[in-house]
Amino acid sequence: MSEEEFRAIALSMPGAAESSHMGHPDFRTALAAGSRSKRGKIFATLIDDEAGEVGVVMLTPQEQAALIAEAPGVFEPVSGKWGEGGATRVLLKRAGKRLVRRAVEMAWRGKGGGAGKSQMADRK
C-alpha cells in the first residue's frame, strides 16, 4: 500500500479532513457541534522513517492489541507513552487495503467520527 492509498482511505471517512501536525500530514474528524476547537481530532497520520512509509492510527490499547495479534508484521505500537495509549504504526508496504480500512475506521470512530457507530457499512 502506498501513502496515497492510505490518504485516500483516511479521507474517505465521512467529514475527514487533511491537515498538518509537527511537519507530517494528519487526518482529522469533523468538528463536533459547539466545539471551541478550530480543528477536529487527529485519528491518523503519515510519517516517513527508517521503515519507509508508515501510517499511524490512534486506537485504544485493546484495538491495538487485537490488530497486532491479527497482523504482527503490519501493525506495531508507536514507541513510548503514545504507543502505550494505543497509537499504532501501520507498515504500509506490508499492509492490505481491507485491513487498513478497518484500522482507519476504528481510529476515526474512536475520535468521534460517526458518534461511535460504523458509518461505513453502506459504502462497502
Residue 123 counted as domain residue = no
The CATH number covering residue 50 comes to 3.90.1150.30
* Strand 75-77 to 87-91 pairing: antiparallel
Residue 36 counted as domain residue = no
Q: Three-state secondary structure along 28-40?
A: ECCCCCCCCCCCC
Residue 35 counted as domain residue = no
Q: How many folded domains does the chain comprise?
A: 1
pTM of the predicted model as reported, rounded to 2 decimal places: 0.85
Count the Cβ atoms, other than its own, within 10 Å of residue 64. 25
Residue 108 counted as domain residue = yes
H helices, E strands: number in the chain: 4, 6
What cell does 22 get?
Answer: 509537527
Closest to 119 in 3D by CA, of 8, 6, 16: 16
Expressed as residue numbers, the domain containing 69 is 3-30+41-118
What cell does 2 get?
Answer: 502506498
Residue 124 counted as domain residue = no
Residue 13 counted as domain residue = yes
Chain segment 64-117, per-residue pLDDT in tens: 999 999 999 999 999 999 999 999 999 999 999 999 999 999 999 999 886 544
